[in-house]
Structure 1
Amino acid sequence: MDIILAHRQIDFDALASMVAAQKLYPSSVLVLDGKPNVYVQDFLALSKDQLRFLKSQEVDINDVSKVVLVDTHELKRAGMLGEKISKTPGIEVEIYDHHPYNGPIKTGMFIDHVGSCATLLVEKLAGFGLPLSAFEATLIAIGIYDDTGSLLFDSTTVRDVRAVAYLLEQGANLGVIAEYLRKPLTEEQKELLQQLLDHGQTEFFDGLPVYLAYAETEEYVGGLALLAHRVGELEGADTWFLLVRMDDRVYIVGRSRGRGLPVNRLVEPFGGAGHDRAASATIKDGDLESILKKLRLAIKSRATRPHLVRDMMSYPVKTVSQDTRLGEVEKILLRYGHTGVPVTEDKTLVGIISRRDVEKAVRHGLQHAPVKGFMTRNVVTVDSNATLDEVQRVMVQHDIGRLPVVEDGELVGIVSRSDVLRLVHGGAVPFETQLVRERSIAMRQDILDLIGRLPVNVQEILEAVRDTAQEEECAVYLVGGFVRDLLLSVPTQDLDFVVEGNGGQFAQVLVKRLSEGKLTQHVQFGTAQISFPDGGHLDVASTRVEYYSFPGALPQVEESCLRDDLFRRDFTINSMAICLNSERFGELVDYYGGKRDLQQGKVRFLHNLSFIEDPTRMLRAIRFARRYNFKLAKETLEALFTAIETGVLLKLSVERFTEELFIIFHEDNYLSMCQTLIRSGLFQAWFREDYSWNFNNDDGQESLNWPINIRWLSGISKMRLEDIEKIISRLSLSKTLREETLMLVHLQRTLQETLTLRELDQVLSKAPNGVITVLERDERFHRLIKDYQEAEHRIRMTLDGKALLQMGFKEGPEIGGILERVRTAWLEGQIHSPEEEQEIVQRWIESLR
């Protein structure tokens, strides 16, 4: 006999999973071992005709050959029958579960992190095309809605939503679902809820709020999960626990959301289980007070400091004095994209001026007036130790988008709505917190191991930088692409360093430690380059921030701190740094979530105006995504399409676009990159028409060995000739590549005519090899080129101009004509050997006498 089991305290998800499993295993029997919650009991009471269950005591374990276990991966949680089965050899067990599991996944185990266990079984049903009745679809949907909070819990996944959509297609009734999910509380539940609220309070653990409530009742009252949901609606803490003593047992129910604690880990010491957002435990003969004490200790051991203002604020702050003219303030606000700027005197905050007020004043011709007459003096501020929740409350209460951060009376930073949203919604720029800092330190040994695998010459350079940093007493970091590729275990030789101090002076000292290094300074951009005889180089720069005068312009550079220096970069995966100072050597600095995006395989920009400020970043986004087989983050992809639609790409110079495009042509995966440039509409936006590009994958591995000219010529080879001429007018090609492109156009026109071998030789013999290669791959000219190449391969000319002079020909143009006739004769097969070559030329001589 095959049976289907779930955990003892059967909820709707467990019931739904059992019913779905029976559709997959139609010969199996549903078995109840335990007491379903009160709402499941009501449902079963009305559904006896549709759902037939055996009680556990009705099952002879000797008759059981297979068990399908759902909504738990532990047989001991399936009651006495489950425990007996776990001790009985020879019984096959298959498991469907969505709760956390850290062991090895064996055959017959289907465990995955989704919001509801029923989702896993719906996916199986849909895959096999098994139909469901409206009743079955409705019950299974109730299970998914119940375990995901109507698809609103943080644990809900896209797969849960798709499963519900499938069930609705199968006839699930939303009215029935709503009725079971919105049942009113019983009188017993209302009394218990009131006790929980009366005996509940929010306690703080290292600054983290947790709501703890307890109650006692002599009779068992079902629906604790529902009461936990109601308490969560009434209380603001992100983590909350209900402890209820009923009869001789204490029941613990834990819930968490957003930034809350993983409650399953907190109930494990009590023998409980669940997942990060919902878990429970039952303790027999437990004492409420001692259990509460033990739970507090468990929470304290796992509590981490909440996000504080100092973790998310921006600094240093751009400020102005009271005497600054409004016209100058307008330029500052425009340059940095701020909506306001604080006004200070000797680091003390005295006011704030908004962009709106500045613009109004300037419109009235007051650009020369000082700020002090227009600034707001009653400024709402926050302390650097304030929590994220406090910041949100102040912003909402006062409708303020930027809050100055004050510490001991001095302005130390500023926090904006964007900073809050990044943390709340996990947006593009998650700022460094203490937890991130601790993870960076923990990763240090891993990074040191990666550095230890680098070529010896690179390790020697890093050691020289470390020693120079100690000598110059400044902080130095390895930044950008090298860090990214090091973490991906594909390190490059592209070494970039930033110095918190004078980068030029640092480079001058560093070059003395590097034999054969040659220093070049770039004062305009605050950078220096050290080149080596083998062609390698390294770049050194002072930490700096860039701003753009207009879209597509080259950046203007100012000195700044490391955080701002990394923020000016294109994508989060390129905004990481590794400290090279002795005491922190190998420590990762990741303000903006680059490591996270590397792990998730995403290319994410750092701010919303990224593509507007520098449109070449659109090409780079596609290049990085296809190089590493990553995806563009949702907001980055949307911004790319928006930037294309605005036409900002056309503000780029032809030279800058060409440079970025041909960097792509150097990539191994250039074909896929170019296909993406076409699909995204970026090529059409730049070239202003949709051309017939040839970037298919038919050439496979062979294209990896092609030089740049063949890659380019192959890409345009299928276009109309007039289209090619239009395209090269939108690019700044090198002299050689432009000539080869024009040669391709010329030969494509010429080869469409009927040519003799002699005429063919005249046009092809002087063509560059790259052009011939591309023509030969074109089905229109393939046979013609192959025939010519076979004929040319037959040529074994021994005669030259000197030999003809010795045979009696006069010096002059006649010599060239004879050599051309000889070559043609070889091509046409009139000559097959050097001897025949001598004979035919001798006959020509005799005919001329």
Structure 2
Amino acid sequence: MQLITTHVNADFDGLASMIAVQKLYPGATMAFSGSQERNVRAFIAQSLGYNYTFAKVKDIELDKVSKLILVDTRTSGRIGPFKQCLTNPGIEIHLYDHHLENGADIKGHLEVIENCGSTTTLLVNILKKKKTLISSQEATIFALGIYEDTGSFTHLTTTPKDLLAASWLVKQGAELDQISQFLTHELTSHQISILHELMKSAKQYTIQDIPIVVVTYSLDEYMDEFSLIVKRFMAMENLNVLFALISMGGRIYFIARSRIADVNVGTIARDLGGGGHATAASATIKEMTLIQAQEKLIHTLHRHIHPQPIASEMMSTPAITVNPELTIDAVKDVLTRYNITAAPVCADSDQKTQKSTAIQGIITRQIVEKAMHHNLGRRPVSDYMTSEVETLPLGATLGDIQRLIIENRQRIIPILADDNIVGIITRTDLLNRLVNDPAHLPKDLLSEADHPSLERTRNLTTVIVECLHKKMTTLLRTIGEVAQKRDYNAYAVGGFVRDLLLKKPNFDLDIVIEGDGILFAKALAAHLGGRYRKHERFKTAVVLMKNGFKIDIATARLEYYEYPAAMPTVELSSIKLDLSRRDFTINAMAIQLNPARFGTLIDFFNCQSDLKKKVIKVLHNLSFVEDPSRIFRAIRFEKRMGFQISPHTRRLINNAVTMKLFGKAADMRFLSELKIILSEENPLPALQRLSEFNLFQFLWPDLRPHYKVDRRYGHILIQAQMAISWHRLLYLDEPCQNWMVYLLTIMSRSPVDILLRFCKRFEETQKNTNYLRDQKILCDRAIHTLRRDRRMKNSEIVACLESIQIEGLLYMMAIARKNHVKKAISSYVTTLRELKPAVTGKDLIALGYTPGPRFKKILDYLKNCRLDGLAASSEQEILLVTKKFPR
């Protein structure tokens, strides 16, 4: 793993340097070593969005870091927990820094140290020399780093390099007006003197156990930007709450700042005739002296400051729990008896003693009812409970509770004391608390910088423009405009949105319409000058453009399943319900395309969080019961994207295997998913994962034990992969269905009838079934012939192989153990099959031969002579013909 980081309490230079250096190490992971300055956090929340991914320390396996890239520091004491990486065996360290003498104790294998005002400057110069393209947003970020560390080019450490770098960034589109919003302004000498006076006048009050600082000051004339002095005072003294009353020009100006949820300064300012947010507010107080204003402020503080509620005050007790061995039917009785919608699943659950330990999961009424719909009432509740559960202690704050219920979408929170469940907090408990005290509502409680993930909709227009081709952007806008004319809502959904957020190309455009998708497809096809095909049963259509590009159109729909592994029944729905039926959270996002809301990301289930964490997670616990083929997709996404299947989803997969859901249906979806896996550039990791989940028993139930993924089996699959890669590198412009090569290889030691039964079971087309059958028969016969005779003539090799297609030939190369067999097949593919005699039918007629069946015999003879080296020119061929076939 390659890791990029900077010093703790990262500033803008550290942030910009991390983003800049990632362009030099595109595969590296960015992570902060500790906290960031407050204005940096605000900038990340408001401006960066999901354009850049910063991993969390807890998600990084520090012992796996093989290359550590440090920017803006060379001191081990300033990189927090990443100091541990320095002792990794074989660790490679690359350093980029502008501090020439700073007591550095880290030595790098690569060190780029330059005398300039910021580390961003030296990295920008590297990007400039390499002619690396940067976006206008990146130029703005880099300029922000340079401006901050040079004090807008006023610090003594500023060099000509900094000015030149900033000039180049402006040419690349850096927006200087954005920079001014986030830079920390330096105080003038007069402001500094006032700051010292404020520090002298500061008084601390303790209200509801919360320390509050109040400062007062008088000026004869109005002074602009007094809030800068207050901000600097708060930072210097590391205060959580600060109130300032400043008398200027006959009026009293009130400035309030708060870093904690216990003190909502917006509410306090409103009581004084002003307003603002929970973290920053102000007011202008008239007709009062400074002393009167201070007395009113203290009185107001006592009325409005209340400590955050803690879990012990909000929880319901005792906690109703269920045992993991209870059946679904029994759990339903418990939920009905106590009139609750969810319950923790605990070992040693005892309602009489009201003691429960070892939390294993949560079960909800919704899951219970759906399981019973599928006749799973006798299964243990442990099979379908949600196993990824977080708990809280008795002293947990409202912020902790909000994080779990709102961000993690956890229905209930078990409250623990000494590892025992002592109570439960539900969504209703949280809602009641928020409604009764609006100050604690999420959007008012903290600034967006503190909880940016609560914002589930954000506009991705900038990402669309930067990552997609102009024609694709125009097409998306056109789709939105056509939908708007019919009063429909149009959304791009699924993998297209996922890959856009990951900044990966994806040309599979899926559109969902809130309206009639088929009518919309007809209108869009007419507008684009293309044509469309419809599928009435699923209310879907495909728009085919003149250039061959296709757009899949679906009506927003809700699917339900009559029984496990059934095909879905479709009903019309909204975009929210449409997204809720998706397979995994990373695929359950949409982008609205209508003109008024173009580019707006729709994320009802906080899917962005899972995408950032790189985890594959199902949307609901019965997902694999309803469609077991989703397991194949989970494995495919995991291996293709380098993600991880979440522990809870892995448990659900194992449960589906235990129930043998795959054996209950002959479903073409299984083979369809397997084909996609086998068509991957490297399907071996996914096949190995299939083996780990013991899925081969359902795909090929007739295979004997030695056909499992053992060393021999893995070896021939590697051979198949090598054969396919070899063929690709020949650039023969010859299409090859790779999945057939792998499938024939997997079935190499199975008789033909097992292959036919496999195709029949998974409803493969008759055309493909016949093709696979014929290739297997021909290949098995040919491989036997080639193994037996080491000294076959070229003409004999061609006669043996000429009826076999490329999929069969590559299959033979995969299973061939003998080098002379591989050499014969390779020679045939690259050379022998293209050799033809120089003499043609016209030449034979000119020589006096009469056209007829004899011509084929003559030309075959000449071809074999050419293959076996008996003739190298047309003259030699004519001599052989006249001698062998007299006129």
TM score, norm. by length of structure 1: 0.51
1:750 is matched with 785
Contact 1:796–1:833 (8 Å) recurs in 2? no
Return the alpha-carbon distance in structure 2 between the equivalents of residues 658 and 462 of structure 1: 33
Does residue 496 (structure 1) correspond to residue 510 (structure 2)? The answer is: yes
- Secondary structure of the residue aligned to 2:543 is strand
Q: Structure 1, residues 340-367: CA drift from partner, whole Å, max 9, x if none? A: 89x9xxxxxxxx99989x999x9xxxxx
Contact 1:511–1:517 (8 Å) recurs in 2? yes
Q: Residues 108 and 788 of structure 1: is their aligned pair in 2 closer, same or farther, counting only changes over 3 Å?
A: same
Q: Structure 1, residues 436-457: CA drift from partner, whole Å, max 9, x if none? A: 786345x41x434424653344
- Secondary structure of the residue aligned to 1:497 is strand
* Runs (5+) with no aligned partner, structure 2: 1-6, 11-31, 41-70, 92-206, 213-230, 243-253, 266-276, 280-306, 310-328, 340-364, 376-400, 416-420, 433-441, 443-449
Return the alpha-carbon distance in structure 1 between the equivalents of residues 8 and 741 of structure 2: 60
Q: Relative to structure 2, which stretch is displaced further, 654-663 or 752-761?
A: 752-761
Does residue 100 (structure 1) correspond to residue 35 (structure 2)? The answer is: yes
Contact 2:241–2:260 (8 Å) recurs in 1? no
- Secondary structure of the residue aligned to 2:737 is helix
TM-superposed CA distance for 1:590, in Å, is 0.7
1:78-157 → structure 2 map (5 Å cutoff): 99-101=34-36, 104-109=71-76, 111=78
Q: 2:616 aligns with which of 603, 608, 612?
A: 603
- Secondary structure of the residue aligned to 2:717 is coil
Q: Structure 1, residues 144-203: CA drift from partner, whole Å, max 9, x if none? A: xxxxxxxxxxxxxxxxxxxxxxxxxxxxxxxxxxxxxxxxxxxxxxxxxxxxxxxxxxxx
TM-superposed CA distance for 1:841, in Å, is 2.5
Does residue 826 (structure 1) correspond to residue 840 (structure 2)? The answer is: no
Q: Structure 1, residues 720-769: CA drift from partner, whole Å, max 9, x if none? A: 44357534531326244543344323322332332742443322233224
- Secondary structure of the residue aligned to 1:524 is coil
Q: Residues 519 and 113 of structure 1: is their aligned pair in 2 closer, same or farther, counting only changes over 3 Å?
A: farther
Higher Rg: 1
Return the alpha-carbon distance in structure 1 between the equivalents of residues 258 and 828 of structure 2: 89
Q: 2:878 aligns with which of 819, 838, 842?
A: 838
- State the AA in 2 paired with 1:821: Y
Q: Residues 120 and 558 of structure 1: is their aligned pair in 2 closer, same or farther, counting only changes over 3 Å?
A: same
Q: Structure 1, residues 292-348: CA drift from partner, whole Å, max 9, x if none? A: 9967688436969999xxxxxxxxxxxxxxxxxxxxxxxxx9xx9x9889x9xxxxx
Q: Residues 614 and 825 of structure 1: is their aligned pair in 2 closer, same or farther, counting only changes over 3 Å?
A: same
2:799 is matched with 762
Does residue 528 (structure 1) correspond to residue 508 (structure 2)? The answer is: no
1:172 is matched with none
Contact 2:738–2:807 (8 Å) recurs in 1? yes
Q: Residues 540 and 621 of structure 1: is their aligned pair in 2 closer, same or farther, counting only changes over 3 Å?
A: same
- Secondary structure of the residue aligned to 1:538 is strand
Does residue 472 (structure 1) correspond to residue 500 (structure 2)? The answer is: no
- State the AA in 2 paired with 1:753: R
- State the AA in 2 paired with 1:606: L
TM-superposed CA distance for 1:598, in Å, is 1.8
Q: 1:782 aligns with which of 809, 822, 836?
A: 822
Q: Residues 299 and 510 of structure 1: is their aligned pair in 2 closer, same or farther, counting only changes over 3 Å?
A: farther
Contact 2:747–2:755 (8 Å) recurs in 1? no
Q: Residues 523 and 603 of structure 1: is their aligned pair in 2 closer, same or farther, counting only changes over 3 Å?
A: same
Between the two proteins, what is the percent identity of the paired residues?
25
1:229-268 → structure 2 map (5 Å cutoff): none
1:250-649 → structure 2 map (5 Å cutoff): 269=235, 271-272=237-238, 299-300=263-264, 439-441=455-457, 443-444=458-459, 446-451=460-465, 453-512=467-526, 514-649=527-662
Alignment root-mean-square deviation, CA: 5.4
TM-superposed CA distance for 1:678, in Å, is 3.7
Return the alpha-carbon distance in structure 2 between the equivalents of residues 451 and 72 of structure 1: 34
Contact 1:339–1:354 (8 Å) recurs in 2? no
Contact 1:501–1:542 (8 Å) recurs in 2? yes
TM-superposed CA distance for 1:701, in Å, is 5.9
TM-superposed CA distance for 1:659, in Å, is 1.8
- State the AA in 2 paired with 1:743: L
- State the AA in 1 paired with 2:74: T
1:653-668 → structure 2 map (5 Å cutoff): 653-668=666-681
TM-superposed CA distance for 1:548, in Å, is 0.8
Return the alpha-carbon distance in structure 2 between the equivalents of residues 267 and 742 of structure 1: 85
- State the AA in 2 paired with 1:657: F
- State the AA in 2 paired with 1:300: N
Q: Residues 744 and 474 of structure 1: is their aligned pair in 2 closer, same or farther, counting only changes over 3 Å?
A: same
* Runs (5+) with no aligned partner, structure 1: 1-70, 75-96, 130-239, 246-264, 274-278, 282-289, 308-332, 344-351, 363-385, 408-422, 424-433
Q: Structure 1, residues 519-542: CA drift from partner, whole Å, max 9, x if none? A: 433332233332222222223333
Q: 2:717 aligns with which of 681, 695, 699?
A: 695
Return the alpha-carbon distance in structure 2 between the equivalents of residues 763 and 573 of structure 1: 50
Q: Residues 648 and 799 of structure 1: is their aligned pair in 2 closer, same or farther, counting only changes over 3 Å?
A: same
Q: Structure 1, residues 560-616: CA drift from partner, whole Å, max 9, x if none? A: 232221010111111001122333221111112222222221221111111121111
- State the AA in 1 paired with 2:838: T
TM-superposed CA distance for 1:558, in Å, is 1.7
Q: Structure 1, residues 474-514: CA drift from partner, whole Å, max 9, x if none? A: 433221121112212224232222233343444444444x2
1:66-85 → structure 2 map (5 Å cutoff): none
Contact 2:586–2:607 (8 Å) recurs in 1? yes
- Secondary structure of the residue aligned to 1:612 is helix
Contact 2:579–2:589 (8 Å) recurs in 1? yes
Q: Residues 816 and 638 of structure 1: is their aligned pair in 2 closer, same or farther, counting only changes over 3 Å?
A: same
Q: Residues 555 and 451 of structure 1: is their aligned pair in 2 closer, same or farther, counting only changes over 3 Å?
A: farther
Return the alpha-carbon distance in structure 2 between the equivalents of residues 474 and 549 of structure 1: 30
- Secondary structure of the residue aligned to 1:752 is helix
- Secondary structure of the residue aligned to 2:503 is coil
Q: Residues 109 and 280 of structure 1: is their aligned pair in 2 closer, same or farther, counting only changes over 3 Å?
A: farther
TM-superposed CA distance for 1:710, in Å, is 4.4
- Secondary structure of the residue aligned to 1:598 is helix
- State the AA in 1 paired with 2:669: R
Q: Relative to structure 2, which stretch is displaced further, 544-553 or 664-673?
A: 664-673
- State the AA in 2 paired with 1:556: T
Q: Residues 639 and 530 of structure 1: is their aligned pair in 2 closer, same or farther, counting only changes over 3 Å?
A: same
1:740 is matched with 775
- State the AA in 1 paired with 2:264: K
Contact 2:741–2:810 (8 Å) recurs in 1? no
Contact 2:557–2:577 (8 Å) recurs in 1? yes
Contact 1:542–1:559 (8 Å) recurs in 2? yes
TM-superposed CA distance for 1:802, in Å, is 5.6
Contact 2:724–2:738 (8 Å) recurs in 1? no
Q: Residues 788 and 483 of structure 1: is their aligned pair in 2 closer, same or farther, counting only changes over 3 Å?
A: closer
Return the alpha-carbon distance in structure 2 between the equivalents of residues 761 and 452 of structure 1: 53
Q: Residues 267 and 488 of structure 1: is their aligned pair in 2 closer, same or farther, counting only changes over 3 Å?
A: farther
- State the AA in 2 paired with 1:494: D
Return the alpha-carbon distance in structure 2 between the equivalents of residues 645 and 266 of structure 1: 62
Return the alpha-carbon distance in structure 2 between the equivalents of residues 459 and 126 of structure 1: 46
Contact 2:558–2:577 (8 Å) recurs in 1? yes
- Secondary structure of the residue aligned to 1:492 is coil
Does residue 713 (structure 1) correspond to residue 732 (structure 2)? The answer is: no
Relative contact order (alpha carbons < 8 A, sep ≥ 6): 1 or 2 greater? Answer: 2
Return the alpha-carbon distance in structure 1 between the equivalents of residues 872 and 257 of structure 2: 103
